[in-house]
Structures are given as structure tokens and as C-alpha cells.
Structure 1
Amino acid sequence: MKAGTVTRVTRGVASAVIVTAGLSGCTTGAEAGRKAADSARTLVSTLTKASDQAAGAGSAEVEMSVTMPGTGGRPVRLNGLYSWGNGLAVEAEMPAEDLRMEDLVADGTITYRLVQGAYYYGIDPAPSGPYAGRTWLRIEASAVLGERGAAGMNAGDNDPTAGLKSLKWADEVTEIGREDVNGKSSVHYRATVPVDRMGDAGAAFGAAGGGGGGATELVSDVWVDDKGMPSRLNQTLGSVIVDIDFLSFGVVKEIAVPPAADTADITEAVRNGGTARG
């Protein structure tokens, strides 16, 4: 594999990590759309309960996009399954152009997995070189996140419901109104969370691509369906925007490690800043 290809993969991995390290409908009119909350405490309690129920589901099928300075203002998209009951695992499809990997697949789509502490990217068989015939690229999470970050990835705070946890720090919550989200009747809430009340969570969110930009508050829009589960979450901090649609919860599916014989490990190339050896 050429050094230039590995460099592009390295950049693509950075974008995918932001998506996986985890953060519209029509309103019903001006008066109903921004009515003041009768009790901010009651609404925070409602959102906290939705957060806890979602986290307890253990898995979710999601559609997600993240926009940040490192993506050039273009969202990085992901559609797939997260599982976090026993360590974080992901299986998803991502547009190759979002990952700057267009030259690695003919159909424009990258199959992406995060399992057992490593990232895997499904590619067309390499025609030549040291990785000839391989159909997966493997990168250890520690090469991208560092040892501490890789260990923290499985600490229980990096599933797609993690962004909901910030709502407990909200000092302003309003009920926007009832809207349809992917066929589910949902109540739309907006919460404003001061960054200085979020502790490490605020620092982590703002560190995404350096996109905090001095923003002082995280604005979260969350839609809760009639079962008390979140159906959509939109969060904005400065120029970082995270959009998640929760399509279903509790999906049971094993996310397998690709066969070693089909896998090219490019961890060391990524550690060396995209310089391929061999």
C-alpha cells in the first residue's frame, strides 16, 4: 500500500473516530414552538430518564452525522449498529468520500467495524503490494486515541447515548412541541448546558477537531417518543454539530472480528503518521 494511501486512511480514521467516540421536524408555530417550561426541573428529570433508559438498552441502530472543522464543514455520516453492553462495538456503512477513501472501494461505501479495541475498514482486494488480496484494514484504537483514550473507550461513556448524559447539567429547558421523527410521535425539547458545568464531558466534546471555538454553552435538541425513549438528538457546540437518529434500541447482533487472513494491519503506519513500510 502506498504511503499516500495510508495517509488518506489516517485522516479518514480521525473523522470516523469523532463519529464513533460518542456526540428536523417542523415546529408547530411560534407560540407553541417555544413555550416556556412550567418546571425546568421536571423537564430535566424527563430527559434524564430518557437518557438512562436509552443507555440501559445496550445497543441501538442509528443514523449519525458529525460536522467539525476537521471535516472541512462537510458532515461525516454513519448508518449502522452500536453495541455497548460488554465493551463498545460498532458495525456500520459510511460513504467512502467522507473518509477520503474513495480509491479503496468501487461502490463508494466503506464497511466499518469497531470491535475488541480496533478499527476495521472493508475495502476492495488490494491488487498488489504487501497487502495484496486483503479486504480489511485494521488499526488499533490506541494508535489514534492513545493508550488512555483506548482504555476509556470501553469505560461505558462512548456509546451514542453519551450525549444525552450532558442534559443533567442543563440550566434552561424548553418544550418545543410534538413532532414526527421517523414515524414516531415525539416531544421535542431544547436544553442549554453551560460548558463550565460539564467537566470532562465538555472538554471532550469541545476537543473534537478543536471545534469548541470558545463556545460557552452546548445546545441540545432531543426528541422523546411515547415510550420515553429518545428518537433524535442534535447537539451543537461552536462549530461542532452532532446529529443522531435512534432508529431502534436493543438490537441483538454479534459484531465479529474480520478473519486475520483477510486483514492488513496498518497500525504502525498510522503511528508513524501515515508512513507505510514494505
Structure 2
Amino acid sequence: MRHTGAWVAFTTAALVAASGCGTEGVKKAVKAVDKADAAMAALARATDRTEALGSAEVRMTTDTGTSGPIAMNGTYSWGHGYAFDVEMDTRAANMQAVNHSPTTHVLFVDGVYYYDVDRFPSGPYQGKDWIKVDGSVFFGKKGAQALSGDSGSPSASMKGLKYAKDVQDLGTQTVNGRRTTHYRGVIDSAHMGRFKDVYGEGSPMGKATGAKSILMDVWVGPDDLPVRLKEKIGVMTISMDFDKFGKAVTVKTPPAARTADLTEVIEKQRKQQG
């Protein structure tokens, strides 16, 4: 108790000296610390609640910084491993050469992407109407492994905020007709955890985006669930609105007989393009 009392006295004295405005400055400093702790506690509750559920209906946009935003709407599931089943804007994703539909059905299961496209009329893939691409082509082997399991879920992203610097409570805002509290934090490269293999320096996405940190904004509703999640990763911005949460769902892969595996073809093209 004697040592504890000395530590408290020393800390208070240091705060007084740093603030330069006596005991009133100490009160303000303590209040700021309390507010930061409250923000972290609120985010911890939201993370736990999100993780306990298994899926969500989402509306998402991804802006790579090199072209316009790509919109995707559908279901994200993380209760049985990270997976999604969405409709993506075909033209925005530059896939109109292989799909004449305005939207493209996209699945992500066990680290592999599947794209529903026009049926191949001839050649080695004749009759197939799905394209399969392993996630390692886009994220590298380590990055793809980092997104395996439930690591790609919204709760996994939110967990990273416990390592964020200067988490701020930006007050209440109305998002999608709901009253929310807006929180913001910055996760530097040293604290990205497994996401460092996805977005960090030296990773394929890191080279493409120039990311040195992740700026994360979360809008949390009164039910302790996220209403919106926005991440700024270098030149890339990802925004996700959550319309409805539910239990984990199973996303099934398309029949193998209808699927053309283009992993090696696309990987070779990417290497040729540098």
C-alpha cells in the first residue's frame, strides 16, 4: 500500500507538471483517460457481440484508389469460418468481358473466390460458367492464411482496435436511420497482428495500397452491434453497412463440373505484369 500510494502521488505530480494548469488540468487529464477507457470498453462489447453472432446482411463498397468504388451486397458469415455470398457490380469490377449481367454473383469459401460468369462457348473450359481463383493470388500465401478461419470477419477487424492508438469517441451520429456512437482509431503496422501479412509492408496488398497503418471508424448502435465499419488502408477504402445480424450460414461452392480453375493463369499474368 505504501508503494502504491507513492506511485499515485508521483503520477499526480507528473500530471500537474505536464498540464501546467494545476489541479484543474489533472481533472481534465483524468477525464480524458476515463473517456478513452469507456470507448475501449464499448468497442470490446461490440466486438464480443458481433463475434457471438455468425452472419450479417451487408452493403459494402471497396475503393482501391485506382478506379471507382465497387459495390457488393449480400451475406457475410464467420461462425463456421469466414465466407461470403454477394452480388457485385460487374462494370465497376471490370468483369463485363466475361459476364454480361449487370451484377456478378461472387462466393468466398475456404480462402477461394468463385465468380459466376457467362458460359464458356469453346476451349478448355467449354460449358463452364464459374471461375475459381485462390485467394493467395491476391494476398500471397501468408495473407491468404491470415484470412482463413474467421480472421476476415468484422469482429476480427474490430479486435484490432484494442491495439489502436488514440481511440476517439466522436460522439453520436445517425447512420441508416439509427442512432450510433462513432469511434475512431489508428492501427499501425507494428500492431496489425495477422493482418500485417495481408496489408503490411512487403505483402502484395501492401505494395498495391502503400499502407503503413489502418484508420478504422466504427459506428455502434445502442444494441452494442456495429452499424457501419469503415477502414482506410493506404489508398484503399472499405466501407461496410450492416443491415441485419443472424446465425452462421453455410456458403456452398458451385459444382466442380461447372467451375474453371484460373488460379495459375491469373497468377502467371500478375507476375508478367510485375
How does the TM-score come out when normalised to structure 2? 0.75
Q: Quickly say closer, same or farther: Cα 1:209–1:114, change in 2 above 3 A.
A: same
Q: How does 1:132-143 map to 2 (within 5 A)?
A: 132-143=126-137
Q: Distance in 2 between matches of 1:152 and 1:203?
A: 7
Give 1:246's aligned amino acid. F
> What SS does the corresponding residue of 2:79 show, helix, strand or coil?
coil
Residue among 50, 56, 71 paired with 1:54 = 50
Give 2:207's aligned amino acid. G
Q: Distance in 1 between matches of 2:118 and 2:182?
A: 42
Q: Structure 1 stretch 253-262 or stretch 204-213: which is displaced more?
A: 204-213
Aligned to 1:22: none
Bigger RCO (CA 8 Å, 6+ sep): 1
Q: Distance in 2 between matches of 1:116 and 1:98?
A: 25
Task: List runs of 5+ in structure 2 lacking aligned partners.
Answer: 1-31
* Count of aligned positions: 238
Q: Distance in 2 between matches of 1:253 and 1:57?
A: 11
Residue among 146, 152, 155 paired with 1:152 = 146
**Residue 181 of structure 1 pairs with residue 178 of structure 2:** no
**Residue 210 of structure 1 pairs with residue 207 of structure 2:** yes
Q: Quickly say closer, same or farther: Cα 1:41–1:202, change in 2 above 3 A.
A: farther
Aligned-residue CA RMSD (Å): 2.8
Q: Quickly say closer, same or farther: Cα 1:146–1:188, change in 2 above 3 A.
A: closer
Residue among 74, 83, 94 paired with 1:89 = 83
Task: Measure how far apart 1:202 and its partner are.
Answer: 4.8
> What SS does the corresponding residue of 2:219 show, helix, strand or coil?
strand
How does the TM-score come out when normalised to structure 1? 0.74
Task: Measure how far apart 1:214 and its partner are.
Answer: 6.6
Task: Measure how far apart 1:147 and its partner are.
Answer: 4.2
Q: Distance in 1 between matches of 2:261 and 2:180?
A: 44
Q: How does 1:101-112 map to 2 (within 5 A)?
A: 101-112=95-106
Aligned to 1:272: 268
Q: Structure 1 stretch 147-156 or stretch 75-84: which is displaced more?
A: 147-156
Asked if structure 1 preserves the Cα contact closer than 8 Å seen for 2:143 and 2:195, the reply is no
> What SS does the corresponding residue of 1:164 show, helix, strand or coil?
helix
Asked if structure 2 preserves the Cα contact closer than 8 Å seen for 1:122 and 1:135, the reply is yes
Residue identity over aligned pairs, in percent, reads 35
Q: How does 1:1-278 map to 2 (within 5 A)?
A: 39-69=35-65, 72-202=66-196, 204-206=198-200, 207=203, 208-210=205-207, 213=210, 215=212, 217-273=213-269
Q: Quickly say closer, same or farther: Cα 1:133–1:66, change in 2 above 3 A.
A: same
> Which one has the largest radius of gyration?
2
Task: List runs of 5+ in structure 1 lacking aligned partners.
Answer: 1-35
Give 1:228's aligned amino acid. D
Asked if structure 2 preserves the Cα contact closer than 8 Å seen for 1:232 and 1:244, the reply is yes
Asked if structure 2 preserves the Cα contact closer than 8 Å seen for 1:37 and 1:173, the reply is no
What are the Cα deviations for residues 100-141 of structure 1, in whole angstroms up to 9, with x where unaligned? 211222222110011234211001222222222221112233
> What SS does the corresponding residue of 1:174 show, helix, strand or coil?
strand
Q: Quickly say closer, same or farther: Cα 1:245–1:106, change in 2 above 3 A.
A: same
